[in-house]
Amino acid sequence: MEPIIVTQDLKKIYRLGKLDVPALRGADLVVQEGEFLAVVGPSGCGKSTLLHILGGLTSPTSGHVLVDGNDFMTMNDSDRTRFRRHKIGFVFQTFNLLPYLNAIENVELPMEGTKKSKDERRTRARELLKLVGLSEREDHRPHRLSAGEQQRVGIATALANNPAIVLADEPTGNLDSKTKYEIIRLLGKLNIDQGTTIVMVTHDSHMAAHAGRMLFLSDGKLLAKERQGIHLLKKELTCPHCGKEIQPDDTFCPRCGKEL
Ligand code: ADP
């Protein structure tokens, strides 16, 4: 495996008037191609800042970032936009769908301005909605979709230009517990089936445990300890006693009540 993301001594200080707010205090990170990495930490520890720097949306105050061998700092704005559009897909906690476009139009949007024709954009968007299990919802606007369905459309949108990397910022933060697992399962499936590198930041250690690897961010620094996760796809999600659906963290079957 080759590293696809490397950061060295990454620091970010926001300036609020005369106040300096340190968000990252020297983050060193190596993400291998094809990894599903979760970065876990409490609110305010610098997770979104880290993700935004990895996606070239924010510049670090100091330190280095290489994404697929490229340094955002040496790119001009249009190169950076082009690079981001083709290499990186973003998934957000708040889904970031346009309310006046339906599901398929939302997925087509990132392909505008690429070489794809209108028909090719439609075909690709259709394939992606199928991939996330929403073929039946192409014509639905976001307000007619459940939160979990909106996040599925958000993921399809992130994949529109077939990015090598998906950066997900609290992708399950606005979802109920059953839907959270569906979304983590979907991310795991993309990672395994398509080899997409995924970096997810979250405060939710239960969700993070289903990535391939967990790193802990504390006070702007990545801690040396790390844990292997277990892809949800590899877990049995039916009760061995009654065969009904269970959730990964259940210790008793909610249907038959037997210990799992
Ligand atoms: P997390 O995603 O872990 O909640 P953030 O990266 O959003 O953490 O924020 C890290 C710290 O930086 C927090 O103290 C936050 O208040 C501060 N911060 C984030 N964005 C800005 C900004 N644009 N201006 C000033 N301070 C900010």
Residue 223 belongs to domain with CATH number: 3.40.50.300
Residue ranges making up the domain that contains 118: 3-229
pLDDT, tens only, 166-224: 999 999 999 988 899 989 999 999 999 999 999 999 999 999 999 999 999 998 999 87
8 Å CB contact between 125 and 104: yes
pLDDT mean across residues, the chain: 92
* Any atom of ligand 1 within 6 Å of the Cβ of 19: no
Count, residues in the chain: 260
Q: How far lies 10's CA from each of 27, 31, 36, 53, 201, in Å?
A: 5, 15, 21, 9, 16
The gap from C-alpha 31 to its chain's centroid, in whole angstroms, comes to: 14
8 Å CB contact between 43 and 203: yes
pLDDT at 236: 64
**Atom 24 in ligand 1: residue holding the nearest Cα:** 14
Specify the ligand 1 atom closest to the Cα of 15. Answer: 25
pLDDT, tens only, 103-130: 999 999 999 989 999 999 999 999 999 9
Q: Among 11, 15, 49, which is best to mutate for testing ligand 1, by the most ligand atoms less than 8 A from CB? A: 49
Residue 255 lies in a domain: no
Residue 235 lies in a domain: no
Residue 239 lies in a domain: no
Residue 92 lies in a domain: yes
Read off the pTM: 0.90
Q: How far apart are CA 50 and CA 58, in angstroms?
A: 9
Residue 238 lies in a domain: no
Residue 139 lies in a domain: yes
Phi-psi region of 38 (alpha: psi -120 to 50; beta: other; left: phi over 0): beta
pLDDT, tens only, 67-88: 999 999 899 999 999 999 999 9
Residue 213 lies in a domain: yes
Q: CA angle, corner 35, sides to 154 and 14, nearest 5?
A: 65
pLDDT at 234: 57
Specify the ligand 1 atom closest to the Cα of 49. Answer: 6
pLDDT at 235: 60
Residue 244 lies in a domain: no
Total domains, the chain: 1
